[in-house]
Amino acid sequence: MTIIDARALPDASPIEADLLIIGGGMAGIALAKELAGGPLKVAILESGGLEIDADNQALYAGSGVQRAPGNPDRLFDDYPIQSRVRALGGSGMVWGGKCAPLDPADFAERPWIPHSGWPVTRAQMQPYYDRACDLLEIPRFPLDRPRPGEPERQPLALDPADGFFPAPREFSRFSGGNDKAAFDAFRTQFAEAANVTVYLYANVTRIRREGSEIVGLDVACLDGKRHTARAARYVLAVGGIENVRLLLASDGLGNRDDLVGRFFQGHVTYSNDGDDQNEGTAIAITRAAPMDLYAPGKGGVAHCVIGAGLPAQRRMKTGNFTATLFRVKPSEPATPVSADTETIGKAAARLAGQNDGKMLGYFAMAEHFPNPDSRVTLDPDHKDALGMPRVRLSWTYGDKDYADLERSVTGLADALGASGEGRLCWSLERNQLLAISRASRHHMGTTRMHADPRQGVVDPDLRLHEARNLYVAGSSVFPTSGIANPTLTLLALTIRLADHLKSEPLKSEIGR
């Protein structure tokens, strides 16, 4: 196994390879796995070590704020440091393993959503999604979703014209949050390949360019060692925030059209508990049959969420939306609010011809629309221990984000009611949405993919428009963010990138 501590190298060591991967997270590892055993000499430069440590994590520190119209700003200074991991395996170290492909709608250009549309379709991504599923050892997601057959896993009988569908989620064991031993093997064994070397504690602080070609990297260790790294081709894969940081800190590489760092998109969930006046987010299902398809008895197992497909989005003029259902216990002691809730659920069930239904909780998620004002920038006045400027994150929503969320909630409530399958409760006011939202660790859109260099940082092959031998991997290339956890999609895109890299001629690429 070739895993080298860069701190143990003599100072000013030159690191050379055919392909240098900056970042040993899920994308970097997947790419190295795809290239392992092949003709290319591959090296990964990873900032962290084998385990999480505070000194390396501190390099992430920055500032952040969430903004939304009609809501007080929400300071988010701890988010840049708490939402990623610097270690071999990256944020996979704390990932829960949830996997889902983006929906066909996510790839489509939707005229009612500015900046929507990917330069690749869901159908074109299918073989790469299949390979990503194989890599994570989870069942594949067919393009045409099959209906589960077990009685307890029957989908809700919503009117197809409403456009809501059961969107499946699977869980991989290859995540630090699920099976650390399995993940340890996943993140290290690929380095046994003769053509792969992993350098730990190797922080890339600058990408050097001459014209349209990348000619080298500055590598720094926290103990003071400084190295250089050189290759024919480079892949930047340090996450949706850090990709931006390194490009901007490298004399604004890729930022000719002021796009690097813009269009930051994140995922948040919306849910609340009831109070003395209103019920919280809940769905009263009218059918007697089990709801295991949506709300299995335990967490971390395959299930479906209720998703808004393209027909629903087109009809409601909204973006993607999901409701994730979960089991709840009735509140104790009984209150007027809980008694009204129980009565509403029972009455709806009786109206549907059932004796009793069941009460479920849910959290809502809505697509964060591409917004050039939602962005990552550098803070030149504050630098980390290696002299890199820290990041400022301005996570910004527009009026359309919350208006569409509310319209989607209403649309699902009406679809449930019209079908007789249930009733939905939503008591959140718009001016409290930012405060109650819970952010996930998904950072997307900041080096967006587009064929037009004036509209994207990377081209459809994930190559930087401004540099012919630098590629970007990870969720920062997503033009839109959908709802699904991004890991499976970023892995699929990385596998697609690996095919592209393998297809390029070897001799002409060597720029040394």
Q: What is the binding site for another protein (CB under 8 A)? A: 274, 277-280, 284, 288, 336-337, 339-344, 346-348, 350-356, 410, 413-415, 417-420, 423-427
Q: Which is nearer to another protein, 401 or 421 (CB)?
A: 421
Residue 156 DSSP one-character state: P
Supply 426's token pair. Answer: 């939503």
**Cβ 280 to another protein, closest distance in Å?**
8
Q: Which is nearer to another protein, 118 or 270 (CB)?
A: 270
DSSP-derived pairing of the beta strands 321-327 and 303-308: antiparallel
Q: Which is nearer to another protein, 207 or 284 (CB)?
A: 284
Which conformational region is residue 496 in: left (phi greater than 0), alpha (psi within -120 to 50 degrees), or beta? alpha
**Cβ 366 to another protein, closest distance in Å?**
17
Q: Which is nearer to another protein, 127 or 353 (CB)?
A: 353
Which conformational region is residue 90 in: left (phi greater than 0), alpha (psi within -120 to 50 degrees), or beta? left
**Cβ 352 to another protein, closest distance in Å?**
7
> Residue 224: what residue type?
G
The 3-class SS string of 280-336 reads CCEEEECCCCCCCCCCCCCCCCCEEEEEECHHHHHHHCCCCEEEEEEECCCCCCCCH
Q: Which is nearer to another protein, 277 or 503 (CB)?
A: 277
Q: Which is nearer to another protein, 108 or 306 (CB)?
A: 306
Q: How far apart are CA 32 and CA 190, in angstroms?
A: 7
**Cβ 40 to another protein, closest distance in Å?**
57
The 3-class SS string of 354-389 reads CCCCEEEEEEEEECCCCCCCCEEEEEEEEECCCCCE
**Cβ 57 to another protein, closest distance in Å?**
40
Question: Cα dihedral angle (171, 174, 175, 177), rounded to 10 degrees?
Answer: 70
Q: Which is nearer to another protein, 299 or 353 (CB)?
A: 353
Is the preceding omega at residue 333 within 30 degrees of 0, hence cis? yes
**Cβ 415 to another protein, closest distance in Å?**
8
